[in-house]
């Protein structure tokens, strides 16, 4: 029998009878067997200063590289970076090569994952090869284990195709993702259209490009029914549109990426390509509205939007660089800095239920699925803190509060 003992752990789990209490936690063969004021022995004893624990962290948008883009990230190292960053579960985006758009592609991914170490749930593509024209094998992929369908960061321009997709997946309770951007409005612009970006000479895309797509998708959802997730919303008006749709009873959820809560387009003054993300960084008013919507629950969840990119595609002049930033390693620290530890742990561990993902409770006889952290530790986020193969981190150089100490999933412990 293998056993792990957490000493003096403050528990953050509103569903647990031990919420906000400091207890010793004994885990035997992947199950919590004791929660007491003091427990003496185990095969492995974990004793950190100011140890806090919550349910294992989850993210709705993680990209790796394998298969096809192993230079960006491998599955093995990606799992290590996730677990050491406190994540025990996430949705894996289908932006691989080949694109995850068939039953066999979903099965291949699942065969590469050790389910005793982590719970990775693959997303399938909505259209074949992300072509935006022909629906992929949606039902077959769901039967193989895909949890939703998403042409990663590629908007579905064809409104009728989107309507048909919603009607089709409704028959088997499927979940559609729709990236919020009208490309005919966005054009070739790479940053937000605002006073500051105009001043520094960058061609901007108006927030209208996002809001038109959100409005269109919600109108179609109201017509068809079904379930829709809108990832990476970034503007104040998008929040209002989604709030109104929810008031009508539509089954819509949404997420915001961490950089849009933390930064604004003012960061582009340096023309540093690490700030080139999609959607682009918006205005201070947008960032404030997004933070408020996270607090009130209009925005259902946050995502670190982890998107590794190799140096050849990222370390270029701003206009030539690829979009994207990694975020697993900094996610807890950023949220803890913005909202405090209780809200941060809730956003990372409990909001997954809105996408139908079950969460465990920190109680005796429950499966061990825990993230470990110290919310008071302050540091400057640097490359030495990055476990990911790619180092394209938008938060490099930022002063953050709170460090992840590791995670426990079943019988495995990863220390950061």
Torsion angle (degrees, nearest 10) of CA 104, 141, 136, 61: -100
Contact indicator for 85, 118 with CB cutoff of 8 Å: no
Kind of pairing, strands 31-36 and 22-28? antiparallel
Nearest to 185 by CA among 285, 318, 279: 279
SS3 of residue 45 by DSSP: strand
Residue 305 annotated among the catalytic residues of the structure = yes
From 305, 310, 369, 374, active-site residue: 305
Between CA 24 and CA 20 the distance in angstroms is: 13
Contact indicator for 248, 219 with CB cutoff of 8 Å: no
- Please confirm whether the linkage preceding 399 is cis (ω < 30° from 0): no
Quickly count: other Cβ atoms within 10 Å of residue 357's Cβ: 16
Between CA 29 and CA 35 the distance in angstroms is: 15
Between CA 414 and CA 404 the distance in angstroms is: 11
Nearest to 158 by CA among 126, 129, 190: 126
Contact indicator for 77, 46 with CB cutoff of 8 Å: no
DSSP state of 405: E
Report the DSSP beta bridge partners of residue 378.
Answer: 401
DSSP state of 363: S
Report the DSSP beta bridge partners of residue 367.
Answer: 31
Catalytic residues: 305
């Amino acid at each position: 029998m293998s056993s792990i003992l957490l000493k003096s752990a403050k528990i953050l789990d509103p569903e647990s009878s031990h919420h906000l209490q400091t207890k010793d936690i004994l885990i035997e063969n992947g199950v919590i067997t004791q929660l007491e004021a003091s427990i003496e022995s185990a095969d492995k004893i974990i004793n950190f200063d100011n140890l806090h624990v919550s349910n294992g962290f989850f993210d709705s948008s993680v990209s790796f590289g394998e298969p096809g883009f192993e230079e960006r990230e491998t599955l093995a190292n990606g799992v290590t970076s996730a677990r050491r960053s406190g994540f025990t579960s996430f949705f894996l985006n289908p932006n691989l090569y080949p694109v995850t758009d068939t039953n066999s592609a979903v099965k291949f991914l699942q065969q590469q994952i050790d389910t005793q170490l982590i719970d990775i749930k693959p997303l399938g593509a909505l259209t074949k090869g992300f072509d935006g024209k022909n629906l992929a094998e949606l039902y077959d992929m769901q039967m193989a284990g895909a949890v939703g369908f998403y042409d990663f960061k590629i908007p579905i321009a064809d409104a009728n195709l989107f309507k048909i997709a919603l009607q089709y997946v409704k028959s088997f309770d499927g979940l559609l993702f729709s990236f919020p951007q009208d490309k005919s409005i966005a054009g070739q612009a790479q940053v937000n259209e605002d006073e500051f970006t105009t001043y520094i000479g960058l061609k901007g895309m108006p927030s209208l490009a996002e809001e038109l797509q959100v409005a269109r998708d919600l109108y179609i959802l109201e017509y068809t029914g079904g379930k829709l997730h809108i990832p990476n919303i970034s503007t104040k008006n998008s929040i209002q549109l989604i709030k109104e749709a929810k008031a009508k009873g539509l089954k819509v959820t949404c997420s915001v990426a961490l950089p849009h809560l933390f930064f604004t387009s003012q960061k582009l003054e340096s023309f540093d390509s690490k700030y080139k993300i999609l959607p682009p960084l918006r205005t201070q008013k947008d960032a404030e509205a997004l933070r408020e919507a996270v607090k009130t629950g209009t925005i259902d969840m946050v995502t670190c939007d982890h998107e590794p990119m190799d140096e050849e595609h990222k370390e270029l002049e701003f206009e030539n660089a690829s979009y994207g930033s990694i975020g697993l390693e900094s996610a807890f620290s950023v949220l803890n800095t913005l909202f405090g530890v209780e809200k941060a742990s809730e956003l990372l561990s409990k909001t997954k239920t809105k996408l139908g993902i079950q969460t465990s409770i920190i109680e005796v006889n429950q499966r061990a699925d825990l993230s470990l952290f110290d919310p008071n530790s302050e540091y400057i986020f640097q490359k030495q803190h990055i476990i990911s193969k790619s180092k394209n981190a938008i938060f490099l150089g930022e002063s953050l509060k709170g460090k992840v100490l590791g995670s426990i999933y079943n019988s495995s412990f990863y220390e950061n």
